[in-house]
Chain A
Amino acid sequence: MTDLQTSATPEKSYSQNQLVRMRFFRHRGAIISMIVLGLVILLAFTSIGIGPLPGWWDKVPELQYPKIGDGAPTWEHPFGQDTGGKDYFALVMLGTQKSLIIAFGVGIISTLIGTLIGAVAGYFRGWLESLLMRTTDLLLVIPLLVLAAVLGKMASAWGIWGLTIMLGIVTWTGLARLVRGEMLSLRERDFVVAATAVGTSNGRIITKHILPNAIGTIIVSATLTISAAILLETSLSYLGYGVQAPDTSLGLLISTYETAFTTRPWLFWWPGLMILAIALTVNFIGDGLRDAFDPRQNRTKD
């Protein structure tokens, strides 16, 4: 069957990145998800603006407006109003902003830590590997939610940034093990041995030869971490250990209005839908990336 693959080499030549991009763009679910996620991000940041920049939505999340009826969605307040008359669209957009910042922040931090620890452990082996991987195992056996709750509470003084860093510090373990596994197989490959034989330094071998070849694993894992972070932040905020008022987030909104679920369900459904949309689309994108980086996992044509 290897005969077949060589004969299948296309006339036109593509670089590896081009091949990945082509396969990714053929994954319909991932492309739709990209568009949906893009719209969600655009909506969250342009509607109420961020920091000093104003948005196109004429209401702000902090002010209370005169209540129209029982606060159900109207043209004036498309997502409805909360008990005190605040515009719920503005509130949900603010929550979405914060949740997205936390999710992407956690994704970046945990990917950096996980890659570094996995790479060092997998490349250098020996006592360093034992030390790093046993630490990883230790973190893995403590329930993530408990650990995140304790650390999140400690960092609550620094607002959502403190929470982001703390969540990043507890979620890198899975990636570290994946990267270590990749390292273990890549470091035995001939091109790494060839580089060593030329006298290439360890740092250069890791950054130029090994990590670029593990980039698929890393990126896919990073996307999945982002969707996991959204859910983790939601759970923590709902339990009261995450984002603290006056800051808000999607999880905190659900938690605040949970009693209203039966009487005014829109207070529950809008943030819930946002969480669902973000987590689902990020997962689909991760799926598409995985298929694009590793076509062997899904070879059938649709």
Chain B
Amino acid sequence: MTTLDITGTDEPATPGDAVLSFTDLEVTFGTEFGDVHAVKGVSLEVHPGEVLAVVGESGSGKSVTSTTALGLLPDNARISGTVRVGDKVVGELDQAGLRKMRGNDIAMVFQEPMTALNPVLTIGDQLTEALQLHGIAYGKMAMARAAELLRMVGIPEPERRLKQYPHELSGGQRQRVVIAMAISCDPRVIIADEPTTALDVTVQAEILDLLRSLKDKLDTGILLITHNMGVVADMADRVAVMFKGDLVETGTAQQVLTNPQHEYTKRLLGAVPRLGEGVGQDDAGVAHSVEVEHADTSRPALQLDNLVIEYHRLGKPAFRAVDDVSFTVGQGEIVGLVGESGSGKSTIGKCALGLIPAVSGHVRILGEDFGALKKKQLKDLRRRIGVVFQDPAASINPRFPVGEAIGEPLVVHGVGDPASREKRVMELLDAVELPRSFYNRFPHELSGGQRQRVSIARALTLEPELMVADEPTSALDVSVQASVLETFLSLQRDFGFACLFVSHDLAVIDMLAHRVVVLQNGRIVEQGTRDRVLRAPQEPYTKRLLAAAPVPDPTTQAERREARHRLLAELGDEVVELHVDDDESAARKARQEPGAGTSDVMRGTDPHV
């Protein structure tokens, strides 16, 4: 397949030689089911001070491509083509050469900072390890350099942090430590593999700010792997779109995101839910549901009154996950529950299912108090609640065929006979737009989106009046997410269930919800109709949350970034950036100049070491 290169011919190429280049890269994996052609002839270049974003859905080969640059692919991989890091050809290096290259010339920032850091070593040990291995600094000098690195990435009190362990840091701080490790040996290029996927939006915005100032100030090239088009718009200079191992389109971020040429890129961009656009719930629907709520306020689908939930911990005071939360979900209404990790949104979802007891307050479902029910009544009440979880791979029993999984609630509640159950399952398969032939297939044979459709079908089996959906689409690729959400919306219109929709993604909530509840640290920050909360937020936290969500348009995103920085200044927060003295920055730039073969000497005489 030929790659669509939509970079204009008169477009000036980024200055300097490429620090990382792939030429006709092909990767094939030998597996027990035969060969898998993961990457099919990819050619890419990353220049100093440039961010090249590689985008694509899971299975497109983007991670495999970047891993070849580090020479870290498993033994069953066969690689052809050339990968150059600086002036070295990766395929020609022996193990010692590879080790020398990793860290010195190329470094990696991983997706999940908790697993990228060793939990039994202190931050200081892990930071100095690379410095000592590459002979840059030893002992006290290495420690001083490590503290310097932490200060650069904006971690307060670096000397104290050096003695701490990864679990004592927040997710954002951990990712900063990982970035500090990546820049510790002055690599010419950094591979960032989904560096913000595991982080909350506000933290994501901070890490992106940090990465951006890093490439500006240190002139490092960055290969950014991501599936999030908003992150691409925020960061990338150039974009390469991968699809099933092929590079289908390359160009500048502006060109690819605003004027995509390839069919697949168009589809991918079309599927991204955008805040404030592409609203799925028309206003008539909201008005209608509000009416319904007013007509039947005596029996809302879900009513939480001053709910308090605590987790008991051994030898420590109980942790209050949800504190004095009250809101209602009217019949036929979708309420979006938004918040960052640790805000208690999933806990509230579990409590609404009766899986976690409340310490105080009441949970009323369809007019009945969960706490006051007997076992038999509880089972009857559960018939009327459906649930969809986040991870479609984990939420369906892998040993059940699809038909059995969907029909299980019927068996549990003793509804119908085998024939009528099968009929019902077939109807549900039709409703969630899956072929009827899936009846006897097993979950592992299905794709993520298909599995999530199965779990939606299972939730609908007993025609529930209330649905609890806990991040049902956050584990899916964007294009799959779009179609699953569409199905979900049309099902909601047909079945008319009330829904508590838990999500961290404001754009998804914007698409679905009639009303929005914003949570922070177990407390409600703001609640109201979608238009009120998402268009005219009152609370600073909501504003910050909205400002941090990136949109997939470079120009708009640049404006939003400026607006966010202004907002942060108003709220008295600092904008994250790499703290580098001007002389050091200049020294680093000089070091990257071709012909400056004095880098080792420079490192040795660095005034900050």
- Measured CB to CB, the nearest residue on chain A to B354 is A197
Bound Cα distance A204, B400 (Å): 13
Residues of A1-49 contacting chain B, CB below 8 A? 1-4, 6-10, 13-16, 23
Bound Cα distance A301, B34 (Å): 12
> Contacts A6-B58, A8-B31 known; A16 to B412 CB distance under 8 Å?
no
Whether A190 contacts B59 by the Cβ 8 Å rule is no
Interface residue stretch chosen among B95-103, B317-325, B424-432, B441-449: B441-449
A245 within 8 A of B: no
* A15 contacts across to B, CB distance below 8 A: 442
User: Can you list 7 residue pairs at the A/B interface with Cβ under 8 Å?
Assistant: A6-B59, A7-B38, A8-B29, A193-B395, A197-B354, A199-B379, A199-B380
Which one, A3, A14, A199, A301, contacts B60 given CB within 8 A?
Answer: A3
B330 within 8 A of A: no
Q: How far is the CB of B35 from chain A (nearest CB, A)?
A: 10
A135 within 8 A of B: no
* A194 contacts across to B, CB distance below 8 A: 387, 389, 395-396, 455, 458
Bound Cα distance A1, B394 (Å): 18
> Contacts A16-B444, A199-B378, A199-B412 known; A191 to B29 CB distance under 8 Å?
no
Which one, A1, A14, A193, contacts B355 given CB within 8 A?
Answer: A193
Give me 14 other A-B pairs in contact (C-beta within 8 A), A3-B59, A6-B448, A195-B397 excluded: A1-B63, A3-B58, A4-B29, A4-B63, A6-B58, A7-B36, A8-B29, A14-B445, A189-B394, A190-B390, A190-B395, A191-B396, A194-B387, A301-B76
Q: Which residues of A contact B (CB under 8 A)?
A: 1-4, 6-10, 13-16, 23, 189-191, 193-201, 204, 208-209, 212-213, 300-301
* A196 contacts across to B, CB distance below 8 A: 355
- Measured CB to CB, the nearest residue on chain B to A2 is B58
Whether A198 contacts B394 by the Cβ 8 Å rule is no
Which one, A2, A197, A213, contacts B397 given CB within 8 A?
Answer: A213
> Contacts A191-B397, A194-B387, A300-B75 known; A3 to B62 CB distance under 8 Å?
yes
Q: Which of A14, A197, A212 has the most CB of B within 10 A?
A: A197
Whether B395 contacts A213 by the Cβ 8 Å rule is no
Whether B385 contacts A195 by the Cβ 8 Å rule is no
Whether A198 contacts B382 by the Cβ 8 Å rule is yes
Q: How far is the CB of A214 from chain B (nearest CB, A)?
A: 10
* B408 contacts across to A, CB distance below 8 A: 195, 198, 200
Whether B398 contacts A16 by the Cβ 8 Å rule is yes
Which one, B34, B354, B445, contacts A13 given CB within 8 A?
Answer: B445
Whether B30 contacts A197 by the Cβ 8 Å rule is no
* A300 contacts across to B, CB distance below 8 A: 75
B463 within 8 A of A: no
Q: Which residues of B contact A (CB under 8 A)?
A: 29-34, 36, 38, 58-64, 75-76, 244-245, 350, 353-355, 378-380, 382-383, 385, 387, 389-391, 394-399, 408-409, 412-413, 441-442, 444-445, 447-448, 455, 458, 462, 468
Chain A: interface secondary structure? helix
Bound Cα distance A3, B59 (Å): 4
- Measured CB to CB, the nearest residue on chain B to A17 is B399
Whether B399 contacts A4 by the Cβ 8 Å rule is no
Whether A198 contacts B32 by the Cβ 8 Å rule is no
Q: How far is the CB of A27 from chain B (nearest CB, A)?
A: 12
Q: How far is the CB of B350 from chain A (nearest CB, A)?
A: 8
> Contacts A6-B59, A7-B59 known; A197 to B382 CB distance under 8 Å?
yes
Q: How far is the CB of A24 from chain B (nearest CB, A)?
A: 13
> Contacts A4-B38, A15-B442 known; A190 to B391 CB distance under 8 Å?
yes
Bound Cα distance A3, B194 (Å): 12
Q: How far is the CB of B262 from chain A (nearest CB, A)?
A: 20
Bound Cα distance A30, B398 (Å): 26
Q: Which of B58, B62, B355, B391 has the most CB of A within 10 A?
A: B58
Whether A200 contacts B389 by the Cβ 8 Å rule is no
- Measured CB to CB, the nearest residue on chain A to B393 is A190
Q: How far is the CB of B416 from chain A (nearest CB, A)?
A: 15
Q: How far is the CB of B70 from chain A (nearest CB, A)?
A: 13
> Contacts A194-B458, A195-B408, A200-B408 known; A301 to B395 CB distance under 8 Å?
no
Whether B33 contacts A10 by the Cβ 8 Å rule is yes
Which one, A6, A199, A212, A301, contacts B30 given CB within 8 A?
Answer: A301
Whether B32 contacts A301 by the Cβ 8 Å rule is yes
Which one, A10, A16, A197, contacts B353 given CB within 8 A?
Answer: A197
Bound Cα distance A212, B397 (Å): 9
Bound Cα distance A193, B447 (Å): 22
Bound Cα distance A200, B412 (Å): 6
Whether B399 contacts A13 by the Cβ 8 Å rule is no
Bound Cα distance A196, B391 (Å): 17
* A8 contacts across to B, CB distance below 8 A: 29, 31, 33, 36
Q: How far is the CB of B58 from chain A (nearest CB, A)?
A: 5
Which one, A4, A16, A198, contacts B409 given CB within 8 A?
Answer: A198
Q: How far is the CB of A269 from chain B (nearest CB, A)?
A: 41
Whether A209 contacts B33 by the Cβ 8 Å rule is no
Q: How far is the CB of B479 from chain A (nearest CB, A)?
A: 15
* A10 contacts across to B, CB distance below 8 A: 33-34
Q: How far is the CB of A13 from chain B (nearest CB, A)?
A: 4
Bound Cα distance A86, B397 (Å): 58
